[in-house]
Amino acid sequence: MTALPPRARNKQLKERRILDAALKVFADQGYSGASMDAIAALAGVSKPTLYQYFGGKEQLFTAIMVEQRDTMLGACEEPDGLGLVPELWAFAWHYADTVLRADFLSLARLTIGEAQRFPEIGRAYQAAGPERVLRGMMDYLSAKRVEGRLAFDDAELAAEDLWGLILSAPRNRALHDATNLPSRAELHRFISNGLRVFLKAYSTDPARDLTELQALSEQGPTQETGKRHDQSHSH
């Protein structure tokens, strides 16, 4: 891969610092309490630079949500070509490691907390985050239906089932209790069971797919995919 020119590299690093700082300030102070001054100070940039890069607080908040969406969509939009079951397994862990990160849980709590006073924040979060992730999942599952690997009438319901089965319970607990993060073993239990139920309901060859899932499950929990990004969030 060709290295970025120094100017482009510096711009990328500065954007990363700003996004990291903004997420921390938003999570700590709420959307209404977060100031561009505080974000600029934490990012180590001037306030004019902050506005030059992101325009304003709303655009900066939207950029954070879009990044969250893109991180979660990665496994669905770029399948590894290994087939349905390994791709679903990879997506489930990728999704879990993203939405259970402390910063993204803080963002979700922040959005819920601000939704009544600032409904546009809730709408923006839904549009840039969950709705786009759901659409990516629907597209992926629909492609597998065309291939003859899955059978369903309603792609949205199938995607919602997948989403809910693999993670809704541990994520809801973590949202309401920041100290109640699931262990890798607990995540493995939920993901294995969720995919098992999903494949029983939607696979056109459940016996084969469940055997493949069992083999993956017996390998144990995957390595945490979010570690590298978490390290980049240290200040």
The alpha carbon of residue 152 and the mean position of all alpha carbons in its chain are separated, in whole angstroms, by: 25
* Sequence letter at residue 120: E
Length of the chain: 235
Per-residue pLDDT tens for 91-146?
Answer: 899 888 888 888 778 878 887 877 787 787 777 777 766 777 888 889 999 999 99
**pLDDT value, residue 72:** 60
In this prediction the pTM is 0.75
Every domain of the chain and the residues it spans: 57-232
Per CATH, the number for 57-232 is 1.10.357.10
Instruction: Say which residue, 158 or 224, is predicted with more confidence.
Output: 158
DSSP run (H or E) holding 64: helix 57-77
Pick from 1-5, 181-185, 229-233 the range whose average pLDDT is largest: 181-185
**pLDDT value, residue 36:** 95
Per-residue pLDDT tens for 152-198?
Answer: 999 999 999 998 999 888 888 888 888 888 899 999 999 999 999 99
- Helix, strand or coil, per DSSP, at residue 207: helix
pLDDT range class, residue 227, cuts 50, 70, 90: very low
Q: Rg of the Cα trace of the chain?
A: 19
Per-residue pLDDT tens for 39-78?
Answer: 999 999 999 999 999 999 888 988 887 776 676 666 555 5
Residue 54 burial by CB count (10 A; 0-12/13-18/19+): exposed, middle or buried? buried
- Estimate the crossing angle of helix 102-114 against helix 57-77, to 10 degrees: 130
CA atoms within 13 A on the CB side of 208: 9
